[in-house]
Amino acid sequence: MGNTDIFDRMADRYDTLERIQMAKLMSDAIREYSVDADHKSAIDFGCGTGLVGMNLLKDFKSMLFLDTSQNMIDQIKQKIIDFNLQNVDTLCFDFEKESLLDLQADYIFMAQVLLHINDVELILSRLYDVLNAGGHLIIVDFNKNEEVVSDMVHNGFDQAELRELMTKIGFKEIQSKTFYTGSKLFMNHDASLFILNSQK
């Protein structure tokens, strides 16, 4: 999984109206868990073209857009220039291959990213290490959907199983809820999205 090559190819046509609307929905959900974060640093992990993170720039002191696809990062760099954005940075890096010891943040959010990650526990452990004490990891993804069969992505996640895994890693104050249901959302199947908030 990871699917970096696919995202590299679609980067310049990724920002469809449908994706922009979905990003607004997800960023609004994330905002509920990032109260009083205007003096905090954030990472949009697996950011794609930055649709979610761009909606949250004013909520944080600084934002790092991180993705494995250089073409996606290039799209964000252009947006930074076009909109003259401040306190924003980008990084092309693959956490599945190695960890970054000098990277720290108060908030990490990942929206429809975990389903593309092969070794979920490894990534969540490495993100735990990146978080400052008391920092938040916020995950938005699909609830498990047995109708979805794919070699490219996980077919969603069971919230209870994910909470259990994250507890094992060391996360605390874990809470999750389903916040959106839509038609043909996930590989052309009806699906629902959950949001999970956790702390280090």
Task: Give me the amino acid identity at 4.
Answer: T
Indicate which CATH number applies to the domain containing 192.
3.40.50.150
* Residues of the domain holding 193: 4-199
9-19 pLDDT, tens digit each: 654 565 567 88
**With contact defined as beta carbons under 8 Å apart, do 145 and 153 qualify?**
no
Residue 46 reports pLDDT greater than 70: yes
CA distances from 23 to 52, 128, 150 (A): 5, 24, 23
151-189 pLDDT, tens digit each: 777 889 999 999 999 999 999 999 999 999 998 877 778
Q: Which residue has the higher pLDDT, 13 or 130?
A: 130
Q: pTM to 2 decimals?
A: 0.90
Query: What's the structural domain count of the chain?
Result: 1
Distance between CA 33 and CA 31 in Å, rounded? 5
96-117 pLDDT, tens digit each: 888 877 899 999 999 999 999 9
